[in-house]
């Protein structure tokens, strides 16, 4: 069913305030329950500059309203946007403060989709906000899982204090955060570590030594509960990480995709061809194409999402991954579902897929010579314009379905046939002019004759990448050079073997 939610303007009539400053109280409630609701406000003055009210949790261009807030503001006109995560309608409006007085208003937030009621639970894998703020931030963004990065490179918040016990905190009946998530962010890119019992000793690492794969190996040796996320797929060491077999997910809705714009470069990652991937959508589509090459190699690493709030401008949960846990949701089950690929990633549209009645990550099998037909069901909720739903098969868009046709067909997409092994997913891209705002289901897999499809071109894509990366590494210490290069030789051999065993172009 297609439920379109439009922007709803709010016009606040404010009594005159003090000539120097005035107090304006705002109360935010859920329109259905009439209960107080934490929310995020983006407030701008008449010049379009963000306003930072005192005594609020503020980041970059927004602050948190914990149900109610008193704003001390200078006389003038103000515009605002009010959000409580992507499942509520965006509220926009303006008000004017003229002379001495105080006033208050109540703003109702309207939920237009309830993902958790359908078994989908939200998380953000890249959060750098203060520990003391995280509970209110998660409430304001309607976020259910947020591992908090408290150690990375030379920073370790636990260096001079006891490790937290327990490290995973439950609050507000169904929200969880963990206090021991970490990040190794150096020359080859960034790895995110979750569910370790203690931080890795990475403070002494240089840009290239020891290899990030040393820490990856150490983390995975700590137990099956540990989850390691490749924070973006265009990081230089990504093919080597994948070759190790130790990556549990990869960030596709990542922090270069931002609420009000883009980080338009690949930092210390493999740069895109700007002619093939021009701005503003280029960095998002480049990310997707790398991921599709990965799937074309027969690899089944699920997509994830992270916002890097606290480092980059995003609010917490702007890029988020929904994991289907059904009614039996807790922190460990969420990570198990993520690893199994029962996911949807988004920074905008809300997708809930069922293909032949199955969730993402499912593998459909058939004997050699048989055909698999997939009936694609999809629930869709929007608050921004999307022209098409796209069905991607083996890395290529095979169907573009207009939303009016989708609605006429009762939320059904064209069936998809496989007479050879492969994979498919559904994505929706908005028309936002300044950023790449999209949603994508996790992939579904098909095995005909019980073998995976391995594309020679995609395997060669990563093999060439490994050679390019290896040429960058020039360490003065011979033993260090040899230790780092050993991982890249292993990666070379891995991708060469896939090239040699490919069964598709």
**Superfamily designation of domain 114-347:** Metal-dependent hydrolases (3.20.20.140)
What is the pTM assigned to this prediction? 0.95
**DSSP 3-state of 89:** coil
pLDDT at 100: 58
Class of CATH domain 2-109 = mainly beta
| Residue 406 CB partners (closer than 8 Å, separation 6+) | 2, 378, 380, 389, 412, 413
Q: How far is CA 427 from CA 27, 323, 362, in A?
A: 36, 16, 17
CA distance 218 to 215: 5
Alpha helices (runs of H) in 308-383, residue ranges in sequence order? 331-340
CA distance 339 to 336: 5
Residue pair 337/324 in contact (Cβ under 8 Å)? The answer is yes
Least Cα distance to 392 among 349, 425, 429, 346 occurs for 425
CA distance 280 to 286: 11
Q: Give the DSSP letter string of 360-377.
A: TT-EEEE-TT--EEEEEE
CA distance 251 to 192: 10
Peptide bond preceding 210 in cis form (omega within 30 of 0): yes
CA distance 447 to 200: 38
pLDDT at 1: 29
How remote is the C-alpha of 135 from its chain's centroid?
19
Least Cα distance to 186 among 216, 160, 159 occurs for 216
Residue pair 372/417 in contact (Cβ under 8 Å)? The answer is yes
Beta-carbon neighbour count of residue 263 at 10 Å? 15
| Residue 439 CB partners (closer than 8 Å, separation 6+) | 344, 345, 346, 347, 348, 349, 350, 351, 427, 428
| Residue 87 CB partners (closer than 8 Å, separation 6+) | 111, 112, 113, 114, 115, 142, 350, 381
Q: Give the DSSP letter string of 116-128.
A: GGGTEEEE-S-B-
Pairing of strands 350-355, 372-382: antiparallel
CA distance 458 to 495: 10
Mean pLDDT of each 10-residue bin along the chain, 505 residues long: 33 40 86 97 96 94 96 89 98 80 84 98 98 98 98 95 97 98 97 98 96 98 97 98 98 98 94 96 97 98 98 98 95 98 98 98 97 97 94 98 92 95 97 95 97 98 98 97 98 98 97
Q: Where does residue 361 fall: left (phi above 0), alpha (psi -120 to 50 degrees), or beta otherwise?
A: left
Burial annotation 362-387 (CB, 10 A radius, 16+ → b, else e): bebebeeeeebebebebbbbbbbebe
CA distance 14 to 452: 64
DSSP label of 315:
P
> Measured on CA atoms in the order 57, 58, 63, 68, is the torsion positive or negative?
positive
Q: Give the DSSP letter string of 23-77.
A: EEEEEEEETTT--B-EEEEEEE-TTSPBP--TTS-EETTEEEEESEEEEEE-SEE
Q: How far is CA 132 from CA 1, 135, 148, 179, 376, in A?
A: 40, 8, 11, 11, 43
Q: Do domains 2-109 and 348-453 have the same CATH topology?
A: yes
Q: Dihedrals φ, ψ of 208, to 5°?
A: -120, -10
pLDDT at 72: 86
All structural domains of the chain with their residue ranges = 2-109, 114-347, 348-453, 456-501
CATH (residue range 348-453)? 2.60.40.10
Residue pair 416/468 in contact (Cβ under 8 Å)? The answer is no
pLDDT at 73: 87
């Amino acid at each position: 069913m297609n439920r379109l939610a439009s922007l709803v303007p709010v016009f606040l009539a404010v009594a005159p305030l003090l000539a120097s400053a005035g107090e304006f109280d705002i109360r935010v409630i859920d329109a259905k329950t009439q209960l107080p609701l934490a929310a995020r406000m983006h407030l701008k003055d008449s010049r379009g500059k963000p306003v930072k009210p005192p005594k609020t949790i503020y980041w970059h261009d927004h602050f948190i309203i914990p149900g109610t807030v008193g704003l001390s503001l200078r006389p003038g006109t103000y515009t605002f946007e009010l959000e409580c995560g992507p499942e509520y309608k965006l509220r926009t409006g303006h008000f004017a403060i003229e002379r001495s007085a105080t006033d208050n208003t109540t703003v109702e937030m309207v939920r237009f989709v309830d993902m958790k009621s359908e078994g989908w639970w939200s998380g953000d894998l890249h959060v750098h906000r203060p520990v003391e703020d995280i509970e209110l931030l998660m409430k304001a963004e309607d976020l259910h899982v947020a591992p908090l990065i408290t150690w990375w490179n030379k920073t370790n918040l636990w260096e001079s204090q006891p490790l937290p016990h327990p490290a995973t905190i439950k609050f507000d009946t169904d929200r969880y955060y963990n206090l021991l998530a970490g990040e190794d962010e150096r020359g080859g890119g960034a790895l995110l570590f979750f569910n370790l019992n203690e931080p890795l000793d990475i403070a002494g690492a240089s840009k290239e030594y020891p290899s990030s794969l040393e820490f990856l190996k150490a983390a995975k040796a700590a137990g099956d509960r540990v989850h390691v996320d490749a924070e973006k797929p265009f990081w230089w060491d990504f093919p080597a990480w994948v070759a190790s077999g130790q990556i549990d997910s990869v960030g596709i809705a990542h922090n270069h995709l931002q609420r009000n714009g883009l980080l338009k470069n690949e930092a210390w990652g493999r740069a895109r061809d700007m002619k093939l991937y021009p701005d503003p959508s280029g960095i998002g589509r480049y990310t997707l194409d790398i991921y599709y090459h990965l799937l074309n190699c027969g690899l089944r690493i699920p997509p994830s999402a992270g916002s890097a709030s606290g480092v980059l401008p995003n609010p917490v949960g702007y890029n988020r991954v929904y994991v289907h846990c059904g009614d039996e949701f807790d922190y460990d089950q969420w990570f198990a579902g993520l690893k199994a690929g029962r996911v949807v990633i988004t920074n905008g549209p809300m997708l809930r897929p069922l293909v032949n009645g199955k969730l993402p990550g499912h593998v459909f099998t058939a004997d050699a010579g048989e055909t698999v037909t997939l009936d694609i069901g999809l629930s869709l909720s929007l608050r921004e314009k999307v022209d098409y739903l796209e069905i991607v098969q083996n890395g290529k868009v095979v169907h573009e379905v207009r939303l009016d046709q989708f609605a006429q067909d009762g939320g059904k997409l064209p069936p998809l046939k496989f007479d050879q092994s492969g994979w498919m997913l559904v994505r929706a891209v908005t028309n936002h002019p300044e950023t790449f705002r999209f949603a994508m289901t996790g992939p579904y897999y098909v095995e005909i004759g019980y073998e995976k499809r391995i594309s020679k071109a995609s395997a060669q894509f990563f093999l060439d990448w490994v050679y390019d990366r290896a040429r960058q590494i020039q360490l003065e210490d011979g033993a260090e050079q040899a230790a780092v290069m050993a991982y890249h030789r292993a990666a070379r051999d891995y991708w060469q073997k896939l090239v040699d065993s490919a069964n598709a172009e």
